[in-house]
Amino acid sequence: MKHLMFIWVILVVATLDSCVQKTYKRKVKFLLDVSGIDNIKSVGIRGAQSPLNWETDIEMKPVFKDSMYAIDITFVTGYLFTEVKFV
């Protein structure tokens, strides 16, 4: 009976250990070309994953006035993709 209990405990520990997804620090540079759009005052980015969210914008910095905006964002994630919107 003790042998059976020992095997059961080993199986439970092995399955619990494998269900945790590894996370990595990923730095992503977002570039947005707005050269074809008139009267751009500012550009922000929103997203599904922290540090982004859908309620507030993070302002992007102009690279070239009225044509290119950029921002570097560091994610701590296990995902290979995320969803963003430019506003």
Per-residue pLDDT tens digits for 32-55: 999 988 888 899 999 999 999 999
Verify cis geometry, omega within 30 degrees of 0, for the bond prior to 62: no
Contact 75, 26 (CB under 8 A): yes
Instruction: Kindly report the pTM of this predicted structure.
Output: 0.70
Query: What is the pLDDT of the chain when averaged over all its residues?
Result: 85
**Residue 65 pLDDT:** 78
For residue 66, give the amino acid letter: D
State yes or no: pLDDT of 84 exceeds 70. yes
Torsion, CA 64, CA 69, CA 73, CA 79, rounded to 10: -130
Q: Tell me what the mean pLDDT of segment 18-25 comes to.
A: 76
